[in-house]
Each structure stands twice: as C-alpha cells, then as structure tokens.
Amino acid sequence: MFEMKMPESGAKTNPVQEIMSLEQDAMEHWCKGDVEKYLEISADDVTYFDPGTAKRLDGIVELSRHYRCFAGQFHFDRFEFVNPKIEISADFAVLTYNLIAYEDAKAEHWNITNAYRKVQGSWKICHTHASPTQPKIING
C-alpha cells in the first residue's frame, strides 16, 4: 500500500505508520469541524495552499487564523484516504492521497499533499496543499 524509502539507520518505530496515524487522527477531528488537531501537528513555520487562499499562507499564526474562520461550520460523516503514498527519508516525508469526504448523499473529492518534517523528534506538517479534484472552473 505504501512505498517507503527508509533511511539506512533503522528506527524503532515505523515512521510510515506513525505519520498515517497522525493524519488519520487529525482528519477524524477535522470531519467533526474540529480544526485544532491539524494545527497541533503543524510546524511553527508551516506553509499552506488551498483554493481559498489568495497567496501561500506562511506560519502557524496565519494558518490558525484561516482554519479557525471555519471551525465548527462544517461536518463530514466519514472519509476515505484513496491510495495514500508516503515518500520518506530520515527527517522528511511527503504524504499524498485523494480524499473523499462524505456528508449524507454528497461527497467532496480533494487532492491532498502533506509534507512532514521531524521537529525535535516529532513529525510535524511543514507544508499542506489541498485542492479540489477536477473542479468545474469558470474561466476569466
């Protein structure tokens, strides 16, 4: 399921499982409208793109302000990480997947990239890029 490029020096914990567990847990909270878990696992110097940002957001203060604008204002019943893949080295990892988030009969489809970096021994998101999958865009 995952492609791994491990560092030569073996670690005691499995970093791929660790990152997937962080992401899964954060997304479970997100689906309840709780944005704080993603903020907790984001680095102080996190950078961020989504379709609503006029430019890249830089840093946890900008990201917190952005996320908290819509905290509690959305809800999903369940989600799927479709075909998650992690490329990983000793201190960097890039997790990508297609996200499907369901609410009643509706489903949202997203392209998700989360880059993680080891910060003082813990994996933290250093970059998020979220975009809708095949949106119907009005040109001009």
Instruction: State yes or no: residue 111 binds its own copies (CB under 8 A).
Output: yes
Instruction: State yes or no: residue 104 binds its own copies (CB under 8 A).
Output: no
Distant-in-sequence contacts of 29-34, Cβ < 8 A, 24+ apart = 30/76, 31/75, 31/76, 31/77, 31/78, 31/79, 31/101, 32/75, 33/71, 33/72, 33/73, 33/74, 33/75, 34/71, 34/72
Tell me 13's DSSP state: S
Instruction: State yes or no: residue 17 binds its own copies (CB under 8 A).
Output: no
Structure tokens at 100: 């499907």
Query: Which of 29, 37, 66, 117 is the binder for its own copies (CB under 8 A)?
Result: 117
Q: Fill in the per-residue mask, 32 to 71: x = in contact with its own copies (CB under 8 A), - = not in contact.
A: -------------x-x-x-xxxxxx-x-------------
Binding residues for its own copies, per CB under 8 A? 3, 5, 45, 47, 49, 51-56, 58, 82-83, 85, 87, 89-92, 94, 96-98, 111, 113, 115, 117, 126-127, 129, 131-138
